[in-house]
Structure 1
Amino acid sequence: MKKVLVIDSGVAKHPRLKDVKICTTGFRNQHTLDDIYDKVGHGTAVVSLISKGISVDEIEVYVIRLFNDFFECTITNLIECLEYVVKNNIYDVINMSFGITAGDEYYQIEKLRMLCEKIEMKGTIIVSAFDNDGAISYPAFFNEVIGVDTSYKINKRTEFEYVHNSCVNILGYGKNQKVAWNNPLYTIIEGNSFACANVTNIIINMLIQGVDKNKINDKLEEQAVCLNSYERYILPPDRPKWLKGKRFITFPFNKEIHSIYA
Structure 2
Amino acid sequence: MENICDMNNKVKVAVLDTGIDKEHDYLKDNLVGGIAFECMHDYIFISDKFDDEDGHGTACASIIKKEYEDVELFVIKILRKDGITNIKVLEEALRYLLDTNIRLINLSLSVIGVESVKGLFEVCYELFRKGKIIVCSLANDFDLSYPAMFNNVIGVRGFTLDGDDSFWYNKKYDVQCVMDSNSYISCDINNSYRLPPKCNSYLSAKLTGKIAKILSEKPGITISDLNDKLESLATRNHWNSCDFDECSRIVNFKLDLYDKENALLMKVADVVRDCLDIEDNNEKLFKGSLFNKEIGLVYDNCFNLLKKLEHRFDIKFNYMDISKYDLVSIYTLTELVERYKNL
TM-score bracket for the superposition, by shorter chain length: 0.7 to 0.9
What is the alpha-carbon distance in structure 2 between the residues aligned to residue 127 and residue 230 of structure 1? 21
Superposed CA offset, 1:170-220 (max 9, x none):
011332221111168111112100110000011111111116133110000
Letter in 1 for 2:83: F
Letter in 2 for 1:114: E
User: Paired residue for 1:130, among 126, 129, 138?
Assistant: 138
Name the SS of the counterpart of 2:141 in structure 1. coil
TM-score, scaled to structure 1: 0.78
Letter in 1 for 2:104: V
What is the alpha-carbon distance in structure 2 between the residues aligned to residue 122 and residue 207 of structure 1? 16
What is the alpha-carbon distance in structure 2 between the residues aligned to residue 152 and residue 163 of structure 1? 17
Aligned residues between the structures:
223
What is the alpha-carbon distance in structure 1 between the residues aligned to residue 240 and residue 102 of structure 2? 30
Letter in 2 for 1:89: T
Preserved contact between residue 74 and residue 100 of structure 1 (Cα < 8 Å)? no
Larger Rg: 2
What is the alpha-carbon distance in structure 2 between the residues aligned to residue 92 and residue 140 of structure 1? 17
Letter in 2 for 1:19: D
Aligned position for 1:146: 154
**Relative contact order (alpha carbons < 8 A, sep ≥ 6): 1 or 2 greater?**
1
Name the SS of the counterpart of 1:106 in structure 2. coil
The CA deviation at 1:61 is 1.0
1:174 counterpart = 2:181: yes
Preserved contact between residue 35 and residue 77 of structure 2 (Cα < 8 Å)? no
Query: Could you list the runs of 5+ residues in structure 1 that have no partner in the other structure?
Result: 233-262
1:90 counterpart = 2:101: yes
The CA deviation at 1:229 is 2.5
Name the SS of the counterpart of 1:47 in structure 2. helix
Aligned position for 1:5: 14
What is the alpha-carbon distance in structure 1 between the residues aligned to residue 129 and residue 172 of structure 2? 23
Preserved contact between residue 25 and residue 191 of structure 2 (Cα < 8 Å)? no
1:62 counterpart = 2:71: no
Aligned position for 1:251: none
The CA deviation at 1:81 is 1.7
User: Paired residue for 2:58, among 44, 48, 54?
Assistant: 44
Aligned residues with identical type, % of pairs: 30
What is the alpha-carbon distance in structure 1 between the residues aligned to residue 31 and residue 160 of structure 2? 32
Kindly report the root-mean-square deviation, in angstroms, between the aligned alpha carbons of the 2 structures. Answer: 2.2
Query: Could you list the runs of 5+ residues in structure 2 that have no partner in the other structure?
Result: 1-9, 38-44, 243-343
Preserved contact between residue 18 and residue 54 of structure 2 (Cα < 8 Å)? yes
TM-score, scaled to structure 2: 0.61
Aligned position for 1:195: 203
Letter in 2 for 1:230: N
The CA deviation at 1:231 is 2.3
Q: How does 1:110-121 map to 2 (within 5 A)?
A: 110-121=118-129
